[in-house]
Amino acid sequence: MLKGIIESLLFVSDEPLSVAKLQQVTGQGQTEIEVALEEIKVELADGERGIVLQEVAGGFRFFTNPKYSAYVEKLVLSSEFRRLTQAALETLAVIAYRQPITRVEVSNIRGVSVDSVLANLVAKGLVKEVGKDDAPGHPTLYGTSDIFLESFGLKDLGELPSLEEFSPDEETARKIQRHLQS
Amino acid sequence: MLKGIIESLLFVSDEPLSVAKLQQVTGQGQTEIEVALEEIKVELADGERGIVLQEVAGGFRFFTNPKYSAYVEKLVLSSEFRRLTQAALETLAVIAYRQPITRVEVSNIRGVSVDSVLANLVAKGLVKEVGKDDAPGHPTLYGTSDIFLESFGLKDLGELPSLEEFSPDEETARKIQRHLQS
Amino acid sequence: MNNNASTHNSQLTTHDESYNIELEVFQGPFDLLLELILRQEVDLFDVPIAAITDNYLKYLQRMKELNLEVTSEFLVLAATLIELKSIALLPVEDEEKAEGSYEEETRESLIGHLIDYKTFQNAADDLYVRGEMQSKMYPRDVQLPEELSVSAPDVLEGVRLIDLISLAHELMQPKPSFKIDTTHIYEYKVSIEEKIAEVKDRLKDRSRRTFRDLCGSAGSKIEKILIFLAILELFKRGEIAVSQARTFGEINIKLVNSEQ
């Protein structure tokens, strides 16, 4: 059971998990955690499994078995992999122009929950945490990353064209008009 | 070995992987892939493991065991569960079972206007436009999306129980009959 | 018949009050009607439709008092129920009650509709359970290891800066509020009492009128029903006399004038 819990935590974690962190989340003692981690490690260490558990700086983390890296690369390089969805693009656009911004603020602008989309943008390295808001609960503030700037050939955020200058072309304006009339 | 490769591919992928995609990356036949997937699934299915393999929206994806959701939510930003309203669920049910369907047809079944509920489902990506009806005015036809399948853990629409299973039980049907007799 | 109906009525009223159903926002008129039907656990195989109608109207009234949204759909269903009720109040010859009559059709279609709706409600419950379970399962949304993300294809390939700006611009526009012109929608304020007065006035105006004539001025279905109910009421009070020369012929209505 504790083994299962730790497996699921390692699976979703974005960074190595320390024993202390695992203690805090599971409420278990250090020894129990260490025993469970050792068991997971041994199970995965037969050399054939797709996932391995490694202790790296700061804690434990799942990695793909290096033996299969050729296949993993092939998947990652295949063209349709990691393409951004419309929802992701919209979220990125809002963050680019309103950063630093909280998750809830992005949701409010887009009118829908953005949890998974935001996690995905962070995973893809386009968006990163840039601090905490002063508001109650100190929600995380998000902003765009260097990878984002690079992708659009921007030196810095100051180079983003101002939104005010940008007014929709005639066709877009007509579309909105039509929308409002119908 | 193939099992290990597939495990590593499923681990790095941020979307469900179809059997065809796995064939393409591994160079193996359909049967071999399916056998390996089944083996992985069975191994993980003892109920105690941290990770489960699920077939959703036409592909396979690893998820954390729902049993441990409380711990996972403690670790990652707990996604405020996008709980759908009763109106949204009813509308979604009608669309799922009657697609492709027009807005007016959904309204007729639910007995109320569904404009705003439908717009919200489209914004959430659960419902999408799938075409135009031949009827006068060519009203838009709606259907469910892959996000719908993923959100409800469905492999495909065929996995939905048949609508007949949801017919009101005899007692309910009798009550309706009886109470509307003059 | 009238007596019967009111007896059932009072029974149901007392019983209903003890239920004390919490007022919720119903997912439409069928939801409300189903709720009323299914909560009536009392085994009355002959509960008249009038009782359902009364309860339904009572609910609409309470919804209005609590400022809950009462959309036109609720009123349409109320009108249908009143229509069924009023037909049911008429003495009907047995052979006329045969299947295929208008009343029968309306009722059958309403029953069919409710059963269909209940089916989808059950399907929605099933979706809820599935969604709840799935929401407890987390996929892995984690950045690729660095050695892989360097060689990975550009996730923004094909996306131009101008596309991003257009999106941002569009999303940040003040949300247009889709105002619907409601000037043509008005509350139907005429009560049966007012219709009774109106019918009497028109009969004073001209001593004899046909049923068709009286209903001809009605603008809507609900108004027709109100006029019909007004005529029934006047007949019951003995204020009008009704005659019909032959089956399906014109129905003549005239005031019973005490002075004459």
Q: What is the pLDDT of residues A7-43, one digit of tens each?
A: 999 998 878 899 999 999 999 999 999 999 999 999 8
Is pLDDT above 70 for C260?
no
In a domain, A134, yes or no: yes
Looking at the fold, whether B8 and B59 belong to one and the same domain comes out as yes
Distance from first CA to last CA of chain A, Å, rounded?
Answer: 57
Interval C42-62: pLDDT, tens? 544 555 677 788 888 888 888
- Tell me the β-bridge partners of B127: B144
Residues 6+ apart with CB under 8 A from B182: C48, C49, C50, C84, C85, C87, C88, C103, C107
In a domain, B80, yes or no: no
Q: Which two tokens stand for residue B181?
A: 């007799």
Lowest mean pLDDT among B34-48, B164-178, C78-92, C227-241: C78-92
> For residue B148, which of B71, B62, B56, B74 has the smallest C-alpha distance?
B56
Q: Among B34, B68, B102, where does a domain finish?
A: B68
Q: CB B80 to CB A115 under 8 A? A: yes
Which range, B83-97, C59-73, C237-251, is most confident?
Answer: B83-97
- Give the H/E segment covering residue A176: helix A170-181
Number of helices and strands (H, E) in chain A?
A: 9, 5
Looking at the fold, whether A51 and A94 belong to one and the same domain comes out as no
Q: Looking at the complex, does the CB of residue C140 fall below 8 Å from at least one CB of chain B?
A: yes
Looking at the fold, whether B63 and B91 belong to one and the same domain comes out as no
Q: Looking at the complex, does the CB of residue A162 fall below 8 Å from at least one CB of chain C?
A: no
ipTM score? 0.72
Average pLDDT rounded to a whole number, residues B93-111? 93
Looking at the fold, whether A95 and A37 belong to one and the same domain comes out as no
Compute the distance between CA of residue C35 and CA of residue C174 in angstroms, rounded to an integer.
40
What residues make up the domain containing A63? Answer: 2-68
CB A109 within 8 A of CB A119: no
Q: CB B180 to CB C140 under 8 A? A: no
Query: At B4, which amino acid appears?
Result: G
How confident is the model at residue C256, as a pLDDT? 81
Is pLDDT above 50 for C12?
no
Q: Looking at the complex, does the CB of residue B99 fall below 8 Å from at least one CB of chain C?
A: no
**Cα dihedral sign, C173-C155-C140-A60:** negative
Looking at the fold, whether A96 and A157 belong to one and the same domain comes out as yes
In a domain, B102, yes or no: yes
Q: Looking at the complex, does the CB of residue C155 fall below 8 Å from at least one CB of chain A?
A: yes
In a domain, A73, yes or no: no
> For residue A20, which of A40, A7, A43, A37 has the smallest C-alpha distance?
A37
Looking at the fold, whether B16 and B97 belong to one and the same domain comes out as no
Looking at the fold, whether B152 and B121 belong to one and the same domain comes out as yes
Find, in chain C, the residue whose alpha carbon is nearest to that of B75.
C138
- Give the H/E segment covering residue B64: strand B59-64
| Facing C172 at nearest CB: one of A12, A125, A163 | A163
Is pLDDT above 60 for C34?
yes
Name every residue in A having a CB less than 8 A away from some CB of B.
Answer: 1, 3-13, 17, 25-26, 48-51, 62, 64-65, 67-68, 71-72, 74-76, 78, 81-82, 87, 103, 111-113, 115-116, 119-120, 123, 140
Q: What percent of chain C has pLDDT over 90?
A: 4
Looking at the fold, whether B174 and B113 belong to one and the same domain comes out as yes
Q: Helices (DSSP H) in chain C: which residue ranges? A: 2-19, 29-39, 49-65, 72-89, 102-134, 146-151, 161-172, 192-205, 211-216, 221-236
Looking at the fold, whether B112 and B49 belong to one and the same domain comes out as no
Looking at the fold, whether B35 and B99 belong to one and the same domain comes out as no
- Give the H/E segment covering residue B63: strand B59-64
Number of domains in chain A: 2
Looking at the fold, whether B64 and B141 belong to one and the same domain comes out as no
| Facing B9 at nearest CB: one of A3, A7, A75 | A75
How confident is the model at residue C38, as a pLDDT? 81
How confident is the model at residue C181, as a pLDDT? 41
| Facing C38 at nearest CB: one of B65, B81, B172 | B172
**Residue C94's pLDDT band (cuts 50, 70, 90):** low
In a domain, B73, yes or no: no
> For residue C2, which of C238, C196, C233, C242 has the smallest C-alpha distance?
C233
CB A117 within 8 A of CB A139: no
* Nearest-neighbour CA in chain B from A84: distance (Å): 11
Summary mean pLDDT of chain A: 83
Interval A103-135: pLDDT, tens? 888 888 877 767 778 887 887 788 999 988 887
- Give the H/E segment covering residue A65: none
* Nearest-neighbour CA in chain C from B109: distance (Å): 6
In a domain, A77, yes or no: no
Q: Among B21, B38, B68, where does a domain finish?
A: B68
In a domain, B81, yes or no: no
Lowest mean pLDDT among A4-8, B41-45, C25-29: C25-29
CB pairs under 8 A between B and C: 151
| Facing A82 at nearest CB: one of C140, C155, C172 | C155
Q: Looking at the complex, does the CB of residue C180 fall below 8 Å from at least one CB of chain A?
A: no
Is pLDDT above 60 for B128?
yes
How confident is the model at residue A172, as a pLDDT? 61
Cβ–Cβ contacts within 10 Å for residue A49, how many? Answer: 18
Q: Which two tokens stand for residue C1?
A: 């018949």
- The enclosing domain of B38 has a CATH number of 1.10.10.10
Q: CB A7 to CB B124 under 8 A? A: no
Q: Looking at the complex, does the CB of residue C161 fall below 8 Å from at least one CB of chain A?
A: yes
Q: Among A33, A68, A103, where does a domain finish?
A: A68
Looking at the fold, whether A40 and A115 belong to one and the same domain comes out as no
In a domain, A79, yes or no: no
